[in-house]
């Protein structure tokens, strides 16, 4: 009887994880980012925010957005887009509009090692052009 209960729990747990991939968090690195009202990305404890990830590494970005001086008509207050540093071309699956509050975004680091740049795509203030940070991908 005990083995039947354990089997049922295992099946239920697997079904829950398949229904909600964020439950597989043990395999995913969590990175907390602040998209702040002063038009800057910030990571706690870092003077100059920068992310380094392994190629293909699963990430959960917990992005908290605070309203700046301006925003989009759809209510987004900041953007979050990953660009290749060499030609500034966008990386597919890495373009998010951020509304006030915290959003969890599950992504994978690009497969190609190199230097990337995260930029804001919503004109959030006159300081908007300074809202960026490095993203490095290692093999």
Question: Per-residue confidence of the chain (139 residues) as pLDDT tens digits?
Answer: 544 444 444 444 444 444 444 445 558 999 999 999 999 999 999 999 999 999 999 999 999 999 878 888 898 999 999 999 999 999 999 999 999 999 999 999 999 999 999 999 998 888 888 899 999 999 9
Closest CA to 96 of 29, 28, 33: 33
Question: Residue 13 domain-assigned?
Answer: no
Residue-number span of the structural domain to which 99 is assigned: 26-138
CA dihedral 38, 34, 104, 109 (to 10 degrees): 110
Give domain status of residue 11, yes or no. no
What span, in angstroms and rounded, lies between the C-alpha atoms of 75 and 77?
Answer: 6
Domain count of the chain? 1
* pLDDT value of position 26: 59
Question: Taking the model in full, what pTM does it have?
Answer: 0.78
Say if 31 falls within a structural domain.
yes
Tokens of 98: 């951020």
| pLDDT score at 71 | 81
Give the tokens for residue 1: 């009887």
DSSP string, 90-107: EEEEEEEEE-SEEEEEEE
* Residue 6, domain member (yes or no): no
Q: Quote the pLDDT of residue 14.
A: 44
Q: Give the pair of three-digit tokens for residue 68.
A: 């700046």
């Amino acid at each position: 009887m005990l083995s039947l209960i354990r089997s049922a729990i295992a099946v239920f747990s697997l079904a829950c994880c398949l229904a909600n991939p964020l439950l597989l968090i043990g395999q995913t690195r969590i990175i907390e980012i602040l998209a702040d009202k002063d038009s800057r990305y910030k990571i706690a404890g870092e003077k100059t925010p920068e992310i380094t990830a392994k190629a293909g590494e699963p990430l959960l970005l917990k992005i908290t957005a605070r309203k700046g001086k301006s925003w989009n008509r759809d209510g987004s207050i900041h953007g979050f887009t990953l660009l290749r540093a060499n030609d500034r071309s966008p990386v597919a699956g890495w373009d998010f509009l951020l509304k006030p509050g915290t959003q969890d975004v599950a992504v994978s680091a690009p497969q190609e090692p190199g230097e990337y740049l995260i930029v804001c795509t919503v004109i959030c203030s006159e300081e908007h052009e300074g809202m960026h940070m490095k993203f490095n991908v290692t093999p």
